Amino acid sequence: MRLRRKRRLMRCLRKRRDLKSVADNTAKIKRSDILLMSVVRNEKIRLPYFLDYYRKLGINHFLFIDNDSDDGTGDYLSDQPDVSVWHTNASYKRATFGTDWSNYLLRKYAHDHWVLTVDPDEFFIYPFCDTRPIRALTDWLNGCAVRSFGTMLIDMYPQGPVDAETYHEGQDPFQIARWFDAGNYMITKNPDYGNLWIQGGPRARVFFRDNPAKAPALNKIPLVKWDRRYVYVSSTHSLLPRGLNQVYDEWGGEKASGALLHAKLINTLGDKAKEELQRGQHYRRSGEYRAYAEQLADKPVFWCDRSEKYINWRQLEILGLMSKGNWA
């Protein structure tokens, strides 16, 4: 595992040549700042709400990698005073699906900072997030000597077909996608890295019903007190050193955990699936996006009589999808 980590560190150092600084505001980063890291491509429609959401949560500075967007994403981000942007037209796939790029920037700028690594359609929820900023969570984690915080990715969806309502720039996507699956999840433990592997939910039962083992992973560890020796291995599903992956209690208790509300299943999915299928830059020869593109023409409906309408984090805790642990 130590050798694997060193190889990942070497990869990220080599891949730094892919990145060109477009807007460097990193001199503004203060020692106590909480950072956010994201790799994006053609996401301008999502960014106004995304930035507003995370600024209100308490993020101090954003690190974005723009993978050759042509919709104005780079220009929009470059105009933000609390954002630093790097551009690359290199292969997303050959950069371990963007992880090598993220690992390099995290190594250079996030050492000894709490950093949240998320996609532009992921929205972090944690215990007491309706009344406490993210710094309250990181302060508590510091006091407990905990360096990583796990979440489950919860796919949100509308009551009708995904293209029935049009998403507008700056809009809260959960005004459209208000529903989620309370159950229908499978959990195993990865024997190599020690992380939990979670699959299921609406994408598994609609897009991958004939082969649920191919459904996307829903386990993520997005919030980490970063050290330059750390690396993500597979997106934010697992890290090295592997002790960072133990964000659960093996002995029957509960560790505090959160959730990522996932706003993928809205009307933008169709165009995104076609684009990514054509690019062929995603995992398993873009098999996930192939499933989306093939089945969206049939206008699938994710809602069913067991769907739950999202209320707040306490609802997710009652359903067993996250926990406040011993944080009171």
Which alpha helices (DSSP H) does 61-151 contain, by range?
Answer: 73-78, 99-109, 134-143
Give residue 229's pLDDT band: very low, low, confident or very high (50, 70, 90): very high
Q: How far apart are the first and last CA of the chain?
A: 36
Q: Read off the tokens for 80.
A: 């933000």
Q: What is the pLDDT of residue 286?
A: 61
Q: Which domains does the chain have, with CATH numbers?
A: 2-318 (3.90.550)
The per-residue pLDDT of the chain, averaged, comes to 94
Q: Which residues of 265-293 are buried (b: 16+ CB within 10 A; e: fewer)?
A: bbbbbeebbeebbebebbeeebebbbbbb
Tens of pLDDT, residues 127-177: 999 999 999 999 999 999 999 999 999 999 999 999 999 999 999 999 999
pLDDT of residue 287 exceeding 80, the answer is no
Distant-in-sequence, close-in-space partners of 320: CB < 8 Å, separation ≥ 6: none
Give residue 74's pLDDT band: very low, low, confident or very high (50, 70, 90): very high
The percent of residues in the chain predicted with pLDDT above 90, rounded, is 86
Q: Read off the tokens for 300.
A: 């699938």
| Pairing of β 61-66 and β 238-240 | unpaired
Give residue 303's pLDDT band: very low, low, confident or very high (50, 70, 90): very high
Q: What is the pLDDT of residue 274?
A: 83
Q: What is the pLDDT of residue 281?
A: 63
Q: What is the spatial distance between Cα 112 and Cα 29, in angstroms, rounded to a whole number?
A: 12
Q: What is the spatial distance between Cα 104 and Cα 209, in angstroms, rounded to a whole number?
A: 37
User: Mean of the pLDDT values across residues 203-224?
Assistant: 93
Torsion sign across C-alpha atoms 159, 160, 161, 162: negative
Q: What is the spatial distance between Cα 327 and Cα 178, in angstroms, rounded to a whole number?
A: 27
Give residue 283's pLDDT band: very low, low, confident or very high (50, 70, 90): low
Q: What is the pLDDT of residue 268?
A: 94
